[in-house]
Structure 1
């Protein structure tokens, strides 16, 4: 399975201390988008200090206007409040969805925890309807756990 082959590559990127944190996060985004065909936009959002909003971090994919997301708004904002993974098989069926592109059909968001606190998340959009499985969730939890070690 592709996830098992990507895990050591994620670990290599994360452990490369000659690069900045943002450079490593961008490299992880690029690795995932390049190797998983239904990952069409891969990026990170992080809590803006003590404000109840998320700021866009490194990402790969189409540019987005959604650089600041209030807690509770959209899928990312809901994950900031719930501390739970959120898999959306069909974005058109979600009332509280922030459309980034008309081509996006599905989304998965997995929180990143540092010392038990939700400090951000990885956000993946797919142009393929209902592509995400439990294997995606487990893999992205692994990615987020590795990333938490450098934040």
Structure 2
């Protein structure tokens, strides 16, 4: 099957343009991938997870154990929070909105969440009280790193 020179030239130009586009896309992808530094580990961590990663292994295990005990001791509260949140969703999906009942469910969910957060914070405070000053500083730095970002510097007390 012999093709005309004009048709071959058109196919050659289309192939060349396609290859240039493909090479540009690959080069751009490689540039994007290599120009953005990756964090150590699979995902960027913040807050308590980042704090755990910064602590020595023994302290990390101690805090995990304390948090597990707090979670186990507060299972009824965790279940109450989940149930209240599910009730909120059910109220929102209902054909007619009962605003008073929705407000009550939101209040129950908020109260359970605040109580649970208070207990976790108390556990964290108990843990921090057991740390030497340098490890406490590491814990504080790790927990505030995301909030402060690049614009703020650590507070020295």
**TM-score range relative to shorter protein:** under 0.3
Question: TM-score, normalized by length of structure 2?
Answer: 0.27
What's the TM-score once normalised by structure 1's chain length? 0.28
Which of the two has greater strand per residue?
1
More helix by share: 2
- Bigger CA radius of gyration: 2
